[in-house]
Amino acid sequence: MRLAKRTGILTSLWILSAVCLCADLVFAYKAGCTGDLKGGAAGDIQKALTYESLGLPFLLLGVLFASSAASMIGNFRPAFRILQGSATFIVVLILTLFAGMQIEIWGNQPCLAF
């Protein structure tokens, strides 16, 4: 694959990944603003779960786009590319889940202040 074509594909995958992960985090904020999922004492829990369900496909797509882009970087053997993509998948998934929990808490504090 030519370098210019590969660079365009990589850029597109990273941008798609960032957009999808940002959409997931927006849904996490809306879920936190709608209801307290951790304690269950405030807000509309069912609507908050709906927002989290809407964000899940964006999370999975964003992580898949990131791992696909990471596996295309460099001219390595296929085994290393699979390892690189798998490691990126795990790291991005864990970081995005933790970021989603924190953003949900940030959404919960101003919207559901007692």
What's the rounded mean pLDDT across residues 82-109? Answer: 91
Helix ranges, 35-76 (H):
45-71
Between 37 and 25, where is the model more confident? 25
pLDDT over 90 (residue 34): no
- Total number of domains in the chain: 1
pLDDT over 90 (residue 43): no
Q: Which among 91, 105, 103, 88 has a CA at the least distance from the CA of 25?
A: 103
Q: Which among 33, 34, 57, 58 has a CA at the least distance from the CA of 45?
A: 34
pLDDT score at 72:
86
Q: For residue range 85-96, what is the model confidence (pLDDT) as tens digits?
A: 999 999 999 999
Mean of per-residue pLDDT scores for the chain: 86
* CA atoms in the 13 A half-sphere facing the CB of 104: 23
Q: Which domain holds residue 53?
A: 3-111
